[in-house]
Amino acid sequence: MITTLNHVTSYDMIDHRSSTHQYEWSVMYQYTLLDPREANERVFEDATGGVLGVEVTVPGLAARCDLGNLDPQHTGHQDVAACVAALSCHLPPSGATLATNRADADSLLAMVVLTLRAQGVEDWSVAKVVLVGQADAAPSRPWVKDYSPPVEFAQASAVAMDHRVPVGDRVATLMGWLTGRVSLPDVPEVDRSEIRVKRSACSRYAVVHADGPAVRGACAIGYRMAPIVVAANEEFRLAGGEPHRKYTIARWNSGVAMDWDGMMSELRALEPGWGGSDSICGSTQGVGSRLTMGEVRRVVERHLPDRD
């Protein structure tokens, strides 16, 4: 379903009376979620103003986005988040549809940034965008055990990934947050008792098992043990769909030594659909993985460098 911001009135995102501009929020862009399990014909047929992909990680869907796909991490192999790229990229035309298949803090905040820029709004927080972008992209500093994502990233993620709320409302909340009209609630600390994490036998990576909401902090907790994390969520739900097994493999940054491309090629040969950037990848979007954790771990281990 394509949604706009015209039905969202409770956030008071901009006080028009104190501005020299008059903003027509409802006529600029539309926002929608693509289902990676389907062709999404209705979305593409109804989008008369064109479709700009924002972190569309499914190649077939990305190819159908006639205005391009803003995804430097996964398609451009750059450690630059979409929301940061949105600060300076070309703006889509008025009436365009902004679409993603992964509603997270990065993709939805990128939609907010594009909207604010297109409307000529000047008073909003670029600093918050940069904080979220740095947390979403691969960290540039050397691996540290005491890693903890910034609170802004956790807050924005909680809003963006709340699939009970229409995507247009989530975009509106994040827009209010950037413009200072909305304060996001504190995010409670992840209950680590729900996350099972252990260092691998070779001590080169950590294995994380997390279910439901706990998976939000799985990689961050895994990084406290090793610079490479292999995470499994047995009850992953895409946009509120049926639970299924989802794997994520992440390394601290592209400087962590391993044959990442070789690992990706082997995983895709075993199970087509794996994708991601040069620092984080995952099993097929919207489809339960058939691989066992043992199989995934053995692939990772085969592509670790020999010890010095």
| SS3 at position 56 | coil
> If you search the block for the tokens 């028009």, which residue do you land on?
16
Q: What is the pTM of this model?
A: 0.75
- Under the banding of pLDDT at 50, 70 and 90, the label for residue 306 is confident
> Which has the higher per-residue pLDDT, 43 or 198?
43
Question: From CA 171, how far away is CA 177, in angstroms rounded?
Answer: 10
Token pair, residue 34, equals 């693509």
Q: How many CB atoms lie under 10 A from the CB of residue 73?
A: 24
Secondary structure class of 126 (helix, strand, coil): helix
- The pLDDT, as a whole number, for residue 17 is 26
pLDDT over 60 (residue 23): no
User: Where are the strands (E) in the chain, listed by range?
Assistant: 2-3, 30-33, 51-54, 69-70, 97-100, 195-199, 206-210, 228-236, 244-251, 275-276, 280-282
Residue 138, pLDDT score:
75
Read off the pLDDT of residues 252-261 as tens digits, 9 standing for 90 and up: 988 899 999 9
Q: Does the pLDDT value for residue 4 go beyond 50?
A: no
- Give the lowest-confidence range in 16-25, 135-144, 220-229, 251-260: 16-25
Mean pLDDT of the chain: 82
- Pair of tokens at residue 298: 């053995």
Taking a C-beta distance cutoff of 8 angstroms, is the pair 247, 276 a contact? no
What confidence tens digit (pLDDT) does each residue in 161-201 have?
Answer: 888 899 999 999 999 999 999 999 876 555 555 567 777 76
Mean pLDDT (whole number) for 56-80:
86
**pLDDT bucket at 281, cuts 50 / 70 / 90:** confident
Q: Mean pLDDT, to the nearest integer, of 133-157? A: 85
pLDDT at 254: 86
* Structural domains of the chain, with CATH: 2-178 (no CATH), 192-302 (3.10.310)
- Non-local (6+) Cβ contacts of 175 within 8 A are 5, 11, 13, 112, 115, 116
pLDDT at 202 over 80: no
